[in-house]
Amino acid sequence: MYENSFPKKRFQITLEFLEKHLEKNSSILDLGVENPFSKIMSDAGYKVVNTSGEDLDDELTAISSFTGDAVTAFEIFEHLVAPYNALKAIKTKKLFISVPMKLWFASAYRNKNDVRDQHYHEFESWQLDYVLEKAGWEVIDSIKFTNPVKKFGIRPFLRRFTPRYYLVYCEKR
């Protein structure tokens, strides 16, 4: 998945944010299949299990049956048609989410060869906050950060100072 573009900055910021709000040794359900960041969380001392690649718009059993300490959804909800349903199904008291932010100068990501590798949503921060609140979550902390790329051009220049990711820590109300 990250053969030529390992997101070192995003992973570092995400891990520091997680460690700020969640004790080591906590059990985490990480939405999505096992991935490099799942391993990073495990190596950092968390007990991580992943979902199995099921369509989380339609199949919520893994989410609704998890009774651990927290759920993480890093770069997942932009792929769902209805993230509200997954948010409502979560039983834990703590939730960590990151999503790509909508950029005025770039279209939403789409891989025409893989229906599951496209962004149905790219969020403005208020949109994610709204769906979280509607689903019974309170945003406790959040950060936005950039994703500079090593290319030349107007869009790569804009990515140097335009926030690309929105990361939130929420608690169930």
Q: What is the pLDDT of residues 16-42, one digit of tens each?
A: 999 999 999 999 999 999 999 999 999
| Residue recorded with tokens 């608690």 | 171
End-to-end CA distance of the chain: 35
Dihedral Cα 33, 169, 64, 25, nearest 10 deg: 70
b/e map of 73-91 (b: 16 or more CB within 10 Å)?
Answer: bbbbbbbbeebeebbbbbe
The pLDDT, as a whole number, for residue 103 is: 63
Could you report the per-residue pLDDT of 55-107, keeping only the tens digit for each? 999 999 999 999 999 999 999 998 888 999 999 999 999 999 999 887 665 66
What global pTM score does this model have? Answer: 0.88
What's at 39, amino acid-wise? K
27-30 and 70-74 beta bridge pairing = parallel
Selection from 165, 162, 45 nearest residue 109 by Cα: 165
